[in-house]
Amino acid sequence: MPEHKRVHRRLSITEVAKRILFILLGAALVSVGLEIFLVPNNIIDGGIVGISIILSHLLSMKLGLFLFFLNLPFLFIGYKQIGKTFALSTLLGVAAMSVGTALLHPVEKLTRDPLLAAVFGGIILGIGVGMVIRYGGSLDGTEIVAILFNKKLPFSVGETVMFFNFFILGSAGFIFGWDRAMYSLIAYYIAFKMIDVTIQGFDESRSVWIISDRHHEIGDALLARLGRGVTYLNGEGGYTGEDKKVIFCVITRLEEAKLRSIIEDIDEAAFLAVGSINNVKGGNFKKRDIH
């Protein structure tokens, strides 16, 4: 029988409009972070943005030009490595960011304090970049290059990006002074953390794995006292070879302390493993009424 090709679901008009809106909003926030806080105080970010700020300063040309043209080669790489939708989303974001920085360039900076500029510039920049990434695009070609080099070098994508950025941020010391390079590191770290928060959201969930001979009691208690459903998985002890029941459950981080208390009340010897998860979708994750 001939193989059937998988048909990719096309985005609805509402989904496309939502994606465009949030990419434009994210790019606008990045423009604000750059032109109102970081650039006027000679503080840079990592990646192509950092290189663009340095070249703009050295050549006395508009930042938006470098942001757009330096990212263009990576759009082609992104199209080949990740796909058409990613490339188009990235093109939209980069174009909006470039125009935004040009429009905001004449606006007076909000603070002359470099620490305040680094902190608030990093926060706004990170939220903007995270928003664009969350909705399918990118504003910097560094990670695309890292993905490409990852196939040829014995380093992870994260390690390659870190190397690039430390080189770029270190270069700021020779151009803007070492105090500004240190402020740039502060801004970069804050932006990095805010990107994670924006992509993952504040409502981080926990995956819970419990092994106990009193699994049904624990499962019933979690449902009754915590309002969370559980799933029973079949397991086998690697050392004893005995059959085991594994309880799997997803909770919010605010419920973790109560979950531990419930388990200890029933079986102090129960094995418990709790891990962080960033995205929960589908199934029956809604919290039930407790009694």
Give 275's pLDDT tier (boundaries 50, 70, 90).
Answer: confident
Check the CA dihedral 276-282-284-285 and report its sign: positive
Give 155's pLDDT tier (boundaries 50, 70, 90).
Answer: low
Nearest to 213 by CA among 274, 268, 275, 257: 268
The edge-to-edge listing of strands for the beta sheet with 271-277 is 231-236, 243-252, 205-211, 271-277
Give 73's pLDDT tier (boundaries 50, 70, 90).
Answer: confident
pLDDT value of position 255: 84
Across the chain, the runs of DSSP E, i.e. the strands, are 205-211, 231-236, 243-252, 271-277
How many whole angstroms separate alpha carbon 252 and alpha carbon 161?
32
> How far is C-alpha 221 from the chain's CA centre?
35
56-79 mean pLDDT: 87
Which two three-digit tokens encode residue 203? Answer: 């409502």
Mean pLDDT for the chain? 84
Check the CA dihedral 192-195-199-203 and report its sign: positive
Sole residue written with tokens 């926060």:
123
Buried b or exposed e, range 230-243, using 16+ CB within 10 angstroms: beeeeeeeeeeeee
| Local structure of 246: helix, strand or coil | strand
| Local structure of 137: helix, strand or coil | coil
First to last CA, the chain: 55
pLDDT value of position 125: 94
Query: Does the structure show a pLDDT above 80 at 166?
Result: yes
Q: Residue 275: beta bridge partners? A: 207
pLDDT value of position 42: 93
Nearest to 261 by CA among 272, 246, 249, 250: 272
Is residue 179 packed enough to be buried (19+ CB in 10 Å), middle (13-18) or exposed (0-12)? Answer: exposed
Query: Does the structure show a pLDDT above 50 at 2?
Result: no
Contact in structure between 83 and 128 (CB atoms under 8 Å) = no
How many whole angstroms separate alpha carbon 1 and alpha carbon 163?
50
Residue 117, H or E segment: helix 114-134
Q: What are phi and psi of 133, to 5 degrees?
A: -65, -40
pLDDT value of position 31: 95
177-186 mean pLDDT: 92
- What's the chain's length in residues? 291
Contact in structure between 107 and 62 (CB atoms under 8 Å) = no
